[in-house]
Amino acid sequence: MDWTWFHKWGSPKWFYELSGKWLPWLVGAMFTFLLIGVTWALLFVPEDYQQGLTNRIFYVHVPVASISLAFFPLMAMSGTVFLVWRMKLADVVVKVAAPLGAWFTALALASGSIWGVDTWGTWWVWDGRLTSLLLQFFLLLGVVSLRTALEDSEGAARACALLSIVGCINVVVIKYSVDWWNTLHQTSSNFTLAADQANGPEIWLPLIFMIVAVYLFFAISLILSTRNEILQREKRAQWVMDLVAKS
Beta bridge partners of 48: 52
C-beta closer to other proteins: residue 77 or 237: 237
Rounded CA separation 211/58 (Å): 11
C-beta closer to other proteins: residue 1 or 21: 21
By the rule CB under 8 A, 57 interacts with other proteins: yes
C-beta closer to other proteins: residue 48 or 162: 48
By the rule CB under 8 A, 238 interacts with other proteins: yes
**CB of 154: closest distance to other proteins in angstroms?**
8
Neighbours of 46 (CB within 10 A): 10
Rounded CA separation 246/182 (Å): 59
Which of 61, 129, 147, 185 binds other proteins (CB under 8 A)? It is 61
Please, which of residues 89-118 interact with other proteins by CB under 8 A?
Answer: 100, 103, 107, 110-111, 114-115, 117-118
By the rule CB under 8 A, 21 interacts with other proteins: no
Please, which of residues 174-213 interact with other proteins by CB under 8 A?
Answer: none
Which of 3, 53, 105, 144 binds other proteins (CB under 8 A)? It is 53
Rounded CA separation 221/223 (Å): 5
Q: What is the CB-side half-sphere exposure of residue 173 using CA atoms within 13 A?
A: 16
Rounded CA separation 135/129 (Å): 10
**CB of 28: closest distance to other proteins in angstroms?**
13
Which of 123, 135, 136, 112 is CA-nearest to residue 186? Answer: 112
Handedness of CA 161, 166, 172, 174 (dihedral sign): negative
**CB of 119: closest distance to other proteins in angstroms?**
9
Q: What's the CA dihedral at 145, 76, 181, 122 to 10 degrees?
A: 40
Give the footprint of other proteins on this chain (CB under 8 A).
34, 38, 42-47, 52-54, 56-57, 60-61, 64, 100, 103, 107, 110-111, 114-115, 117-118, 153-154, 217, 220-221, 224-225, 227-228, 231-241, 243-245, 247
